[in-house]
Chain A
Amino acid sequence: MQTIDLKALERRIWSSSFEDGLWDLFIGTMALGFAIIPLINDVIHSDFWSSFAWLPVNLAVLLFLFFGKRHITMPRVGLVRPTPQRRRKLSVLAWINVAVLSLCAVGGAVAAFGGGETLFGIYPYFMGLLVLTIFSICAYMLSVQRFYIYGLLLVLAPTVGEFLWSRRWPIVSVHHGFPVTFGVAASIIIITGVVLLIRFIQATPIPPVESPDAP
């Protein structure tokens, strides 16, 4: 007889909440913004407003995440609340993400408005490194291994884009290659999300209504 590994049990419970692919869709759409925003900028010629133009899409996916969890995931896998220790861990994770994203934003503002060409050139690598850090921490703390790959994809997108753009490859001749490289990375993440969501819906039907809460 084996002893009950409660830590493994807890990890399995919480990592299973990422099996519906909804977070993947959200992350993929955020990443897709880096591919689309420069193209919108070509049309409206404003860095500021082109960033805002993608906001409704992000908002729509955020709403899909929220309502998807409530109306797709919850009726299939039920509702579970974390222990106070787990909640503390999650809030630490959230604060780390806020800190890293703030660093990203401050770095971006400095690079765009007062950093000069050198700093502006370094910024995509700096941002990529921060994104990799966030995803690695999330992957480790949430036990979701594919987040390591997402982090890697999102650090490779600006790096490969810059590299190919500096060599004047025709396919990445505009916007440092970001529309292509971020487009590919985001597509991989979004397709993974869609596949996971379809598989989740097929494999996890809503159980028959026999619960104590049945009408």
Chain B
Amino acid sequence: MPPKPTRSNDLQSLTDIDKLVHEPARLMILAYLYVVESADFIFLIRQTDLTWGNLSAHISKLEAAGYVEVTKEFVGKKPHTMLSLTAEGRAAFRTYRQNMKRVLDDLPD
């Protein structure tokens, strides 16, 4: 389950931030998948500039956490791996955004 939005406005609430989402490469992957229904590996590689190996490793972690769903399908006669956010993944990303926004908005200029 993704962590709940933080309640207090002090920096202590940073500890509630989901570290799985907070990693920059994974955050990027989640952001791209959040604004589409599904996408394939090539799309994410083009958008994120990650290598195949790197992307694969991050996707495996997100899949293990239940945030990303990996599905095999056919486009024409070729097999195609599509990636999409699960409901849990969407909730985790939303919560992360709310938490970060709250924490950063409360900091003085």
Q: Which residues of A contact B (CB under 8 A)?
A: 1, 3-4, 6, 9-10, 13, 70, 74-84, 86, 204, 207-208, 210-213
Contact = CB atoms under 8 A, between A and B. Distances in A.
B37 A77 contact: no
Task: Tell me the interface secondary structure of chain B in the complex.
Answer: helix
B19 interface: no
B7 interface: no
Contacts of B34: 6
A91 to B, nearest CB: 14
A80 B104 contact: no
Contact of A213 (B32, B47, B79): B79
B58 interface: no
B39 A9 contact: no
B38 A213 contact: no
Nearest to A1: B104
A9 to B, nearest CB: 5
Give the size range of B's interface with the partner: 20 to 34
B47 A83 contact: no
Contact of A79 (B35, B39, B53): B39
Contacts of A78: 39-46
Interface string B10-45: 000000000000000001000110111111111111
B37 A84 contact: yes
B97 to A, nearest CB: 7
Contact of B39 (A6, A76, A80, A204): A80
A201 B58 CA distance: 29
Interface string B69-86: 000000110111110000
11 contacts: A1-B104, A3-B97, A3-B100, A9-B35, A13-B35, A76-B42, A77-B46, A78-B45, A79-B80, A211-B52, A213-B79
